[in-house]
A = this chain, B = another copy of it.
């Protein structure tokens, strides 16, 4: 007889009370005499009883689960260092509250919409974690239409009825550009990520602004965040009439691919070309040269997002949270330019 087989009735019988009382006691609700409550709790512990969430959800209309739907082209499926740590952060919050994460990976927008609908219609989850937010993200409306809840990583331009988790990247970008300018760079390019994505766009804009403020002309090559396009963009830049002496990549995987291209052409890094990533990643510490980047603490995002969403779901209290600003991590991939 595994713990899975013991029900509220067994506890009630063991404690010599009705199952209604057991429910009250276990959920910490008032109206149970102190000694009965203790007797019930003892019996439950003894038997190793844990309430069946499905049965529970049937009356409480909760799933005791949160949903994360990742849209990823099969081609770029593996590269994002953000998610593993993000999910780990989410988990630390969920596990201590007996909740669970339902993860779905879909290849395109169509499958994505179906996935939201299915999880919501089947009452599989109480709310969604919205990552990789697009500038004008249709998922906000989707979730509302399906009568579910959500929290978004980043602030949708159209506003959102749901809590919004943000982290200031502007200061970090400024710092990063200042760092490169301080080293003597003047021709600095930005291989931006998918500009339909909010953080991709935002970073690009701030980069341009920072460059203009320094009286310089920002060069931008947009990509889809994949290392493949990161490599392509690098070739384009290095082939141009006035190649940059420093390149800021939209994420670390693209920066690594960019390094590959530079090495291949016999450039010595960082002297012939300074390179930075964005968002930080573990592997960036172990490549050569070690990668200058902006730290992003994915686990922190996960903790904040799960906490905010649970709070909304359980108490109807939407509360935005602003995470500490991204910090510049200077490593060995940036140095004064050797040519001008």
Contacts and interface: CB of A to CB of B under 8 A. Distances in A.
Nearest to A145: B2
Given A3-B121, A95-B115, A287-B259, A282 B79 contact: yes
21 contacts: A2-B121, A4-B121, A4-B146, A51-B122, A53-B123, A72-B84, A77-B84, A77-B282, A78-B81, A79-B81, A79-B283, A84-B105, A88-B105, A88-B107, A91-B104, A101-B102, A103-B103, A256-B286, A260-B288, A261-B288, A263-B289
B95 A104 contact: yes
Nearest to A281: B78
Interface stretch (A54-62, A154-162, A182-190): A54-62
A85 interface: yes
A121 B48 contact: yes
Interface string A270-311: 000000000001110111111000000011000000000000
A227 interface: yes
A230 interface: yes
* Pairs of residues from A and B, 9 with the lowest C-beta to C-beta distance, nearest first: A263-B288, A257-B286, A260-B288, A54-B54, A3-B121, A103-B103, A227-B286, A78-B81, A2-B147
Interface string A318-339: 0000000000000000000000
B78 A84 contact: yes
Contacts of A76: 282
User: Interface on chain A toward B: helix, strand, loop, or mixed SS?
Assistant: helix
A286 B257 CA distance: 5
A52 interface: yes
Given A50-B118, A77-B88, A102-B102, A282 B227 contact: yes
B288 A259 contact: yes
B283 A264 contact: no
B257 A287 contact: yes
